[in-house]
């Protein structure tokens, strides 16, 4: 009878010890989770400041005049237009040389 009682007491003591270790493990995990959460909170970006308004294109605004449009001469405007139209022009083969006739068709 004494052997059974000693075995029972040993089993109860082992169960108690396992419960204590499980509780310690749970507390350690909870503390680690709190540490991880504080690290995540520290790495999160703070309230973001809105970006500055986009700056206007340099060619249309003169910074020395504070945003006033620069003057353009009529001759410069016409010259720029003719350059653009010249780039779109399609040369015609009028027939001088080895080929024959117009290539319009």
pLDDT digit string, tens, across residues 59-70: 555 555 565 666
Q: Is the model more confident about 55 or about 28?
A: 28
Say if residue 19's pLDDT is above 80: yes
Q: Count CA within 13 A, CB hemisphere, residue 10.
A: 6
Q: pTM of the predicted model, to two decimals? A: 0.38
Tabulate helix, strand, coil % of the chain (nearest 5).
55, 0, 40
């Amino acid at each position: 009878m004494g052997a059974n009682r000693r075995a029972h007491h040993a089993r109860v003591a082992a169960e108690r010890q396992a419960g204590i270790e499980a509780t310690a493990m749970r507390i350690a995990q909870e503390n680690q989770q709190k540490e991880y959460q504080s690290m995540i909170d520290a790495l999160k970006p703070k309230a973001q400041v809105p970006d500055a308004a986009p700056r206007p294109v340099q060619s249309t605004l003169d910074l020395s005049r504070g945003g006033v449009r620069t003057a353009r001469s009529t001759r410069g405007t016409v010259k720029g237009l003719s350059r653009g139209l010249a780039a779109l022009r399609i040369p015609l083969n009028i027939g001088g040389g080895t080929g024959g006739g117009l290539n319009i068709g």
